[in-house]
Amino acid sequence: MRILLVDDQDTMIRIIKNLLSDIGYTDVTTAFNGQKACEILSKETIELVISDWNMPNMTGLDLLKHVRSDPKLANTPFIMVTAEAEKDNIVAAIQADVDQYIVKPFKQDDLENKITLALKKRGKA
């Protein structure tokens, strides 16, 4: 499965990539902001997006809205990974049709569980 991991922090990219690898997902493309992610999504086949919320140029929420508004991408499973645990942010992500929401810090089991749920929700598992 091809995963697009979007985060503006190198450390988080490394941590999440290692967790994904431990789970068995090794085909991971990375982007450091939502704009770069949009470029990748327009050119490549991505089967799951895992994105941070707070990033420069384009937030994870804006990226999610972009994905859902594009007929070619609309059914792509999308997981938001963020330090934002405020109810308003969670509601905003749900209204934008996020598949799963993970609050940092999290464990490998949490990530694996959320991936499974996101794939099932979109009929990809």
The whole model's pTM is what? 0.96
> What local confidence, expressed as pLDDT, does residue 118 receive?
97
pLDDT band at residue 83 using 50, 70 and 90 as cut-offs: confident
Collect all residues with Cβ–Cβ distance below 8 Å to 46 and sequence separation of at least 6: 2, 3, 4, 29, 40, 73, 76
Taking only the tens place, the pLDDT of each residue in 85-97 is 788 888 999 999 9
Interval 18-34 mean pLDDT: 97
- Fold of domain 3-121: Rossmann fold (3.40.50)
Residue ranges per domain, the chain?
3-121
